[in-house]
Chain A
Amino acid sequence: MPLANLPASPSQLARYPVEARDAYERFRTTGDMDALGIVILAAVRDFMPKRNLGAGNIELRPEMKLMEDLGYDSLAVAETVFFFEDLFKVRIQNTELMSVRTVAELQKFVVQKLGENAGKPTA
């Protein structure tokens, strides 16, 4: 299920680790959902408020709660959502996000969202 409408080498990922950029390319060209999971994890780490955690190099585990465990505030959540909207050209409603609390739930949500939108032309 390749997502041909997504651009190669998007500027949003320009400063991301090479593993995340490779994973994006794999997802874009082959539809590999595991690769998408890697991109999402990289974004979660990127938007995590570092100050709240000190070093910011902790290992991300699927059950970790964005707010309670990773120090996200509502603006950081909004920023992350916009990042995915902008990167994957999808629209995410506030109500859809209400159930997203953990890293795993966020991965599942974005994977599901992109599955719904795969191949659809968007703005």
Chain B
Amino acid sequence: MSSFPGGRQVLVTGLGFITPIGNDRASVSANLRAGKHGLAPVEFLGNPQVPVKVAGTVKDFSVDSTSCREWTWPTRYDLPRETLRGMAPHGVYAFCALQQALADAGLKPEDVANDNETGLFCASAGSAMLMYNNLALMHAVRGERGNPMGVVSSIAGTLNFNLAAHFHITGAVCGFVSACASASHAIGYACDEIRLGRLKRVLVVGAEELNAETLLPFAAMRALSQQSDPMLASRPFDAGRDGFVGAGGSVVLVLEEASFAKSRGAAVYAEVAGWGQAADGYSVAMSHPAGAGLQRAIGNALRDAGVGAKSIDYVNAHGTSTPVGDRAEAIALKAVFNAAGTRPNVSSTKGLTGHPLSLAGAMEAAFCVLAIKEGFTPGNPHLVMPDEACADLLLPRETLATGPATVLNNSSGFGGSNVCHVFKRWFSP
């Protein structure tokens, strides 16, 4: 039970997926179980010399153009032009994932519209591609004209602006920007708003687009894998890992207060039992070498959830497949769990999906509650030779046919932001 007064509990009651490993729950679940990755060959800027060869691509969408009029998406989603005109490419993913999540939660659009009790918390880095295009025009015409949708379609916050307007969300609406911890922050603060009694329901949306403007700047940081073989490119915790593989997509979670969810007969994936965060205070981009902030974030999350380290039976690691980051996380996990005399299963599903940046925390939270609900534990199918720093971690290669009861989900972002969630199997009281 949470330490918050009022005893309110937070449940996950709906999921929507537009991901490299599937655009619906059934496909995502099947690919997680089969250990089947969603990475594909890519070429950016028409230049085969670019040292980025594979990425976690989104299938069945085309959002490469700078003009929204050229974009296409699966026709089952009803996305009107009046909404599309202010959107970024990743907004299209998010729109579809949100329509999917509402349906999954048994909600109609009118159930979340104008009710003052549904909030919308979003996470993305905005659209560097549209921003670049808009500013290039501004410079070309020396500031004399510009696209009126340039701001709302490109700056960080574009998701919340557009989705709040379209779905008529009248509770709290905001965005979170902490790089690869962004969506995890959104889930955490959504959980708190519900526990504080301020909102009954929060739609948490994470999304990122996959294009040269979003991804290649990470190549300049030497953070990306240069492998062209998908099986070798994203290898979290493997001794041979050489960087992360970029990814795009969107995942939406519907969080609801337990009694509210029960009153409408909602189906439940799992409980958000608690969350915690702590920062490294160390480097602008690199993890603390011993994962100091992550260790404290895990401790804070466990305390908030009221569970001990021994209760955790699966950790969905941040594990991006970078040499420094995975090592720091491995050390942090050992410091928390091995020191408590326990070894939970640990896997990074980024081996299958690649790393979708701001979206990561939401995507992996959704994988965690799916694992709890459907009874499986994702493995590390690309792991061949674990890094020596992982020697004492339990890193199953294959998906396990048993599901966890209590899960820890880790995320870490630039500047040393670490955010962790604890999800628990839900037994209706």
Contacts and interface: CB of A to CB of B under 8 A. Distances in A.
A63 interface: no
Contacts of B144: 91, 123
Given A15-B69, A82-B145, A123-B144, A50 B81 contact: yes
B67 A51 contact: no
Interface stretch (A21-29, A34-42, A71-79, A102-110): A71-79
Main DSSP-derived SS at the B contact region: loop
B81 A49 contact: yes
A11 interface: yes
A50 B148 contact: no
A61 B86 CA distance: 28
Contacts of A78: 148
Contacts of A19: none
Contacts of B80: 49-51
Interface string A59-87: 00000000000000101101101100110
Interface string B142-163: 1011111100000000000000
9 contacts: A15-B69, A51-B80, A52-B82, A76-B85, A78-B148, A79-B85, A82-B146, A91-B144, A123-B144
Contacts, number: 40
B62 to A, nearest CB: 13
A79 B85 CA distance: 9
Contacts of A75: 85-86, 148-149
A76 B149 CA distance: 10
Contacts of A51: 80-82
A12 B65 CA distance: 12
Given A76-B82, A81-B148, 8 more contacts: A50-B80, A50-B81, A51-B81, A52-B82, A75-B148, A82-B148, A85-B145, A86-B145
B221 interface: no
A75 B150 CA distance: 12
Name the prevailing secondary structure of the A interface residues: helix
Interface residues of A, number: 18
B70 interface: yes
Contacts of A123: 140-142, 144
Nearest to B69: A15
Interface of B: 67, 69-70, 80-82, 85-86, 137, 140-142, 144-149
Interface of A: 11-12, 15, 49-52, 73, 75-76, 78-79, 81-82, 85-86, 91, 123
A75 B137 CA distance: 19
B82 A11 contact: no
A123 B142 CA distance: 8
Given A49-B82, A51-B82, A79 B149 contact: yes
A51 B83 CA distance: 10
B59 to A, nearest CB: 23
A81 B137 CA distance: 16
B243 to A, nearest CB: 36
A91 B144 CA distance: 7
A67 B137 CA distance: 28
Contacts of A50: 80-82
B67 A11 contact: yes
A12 B147 CA distance: 13
Return the 9 tightest CB-CB contacts between A and B, nearest first. Answer: A78-B148, A123-B141, A49-B82, A51-B80, A85-B145, A91-B144, A82-B148, A51-B82, A82-B147
A11 B199 CA distance: 46
A123 B137 CA distance: 10
Contacts of B82: 49-52, 73, 76
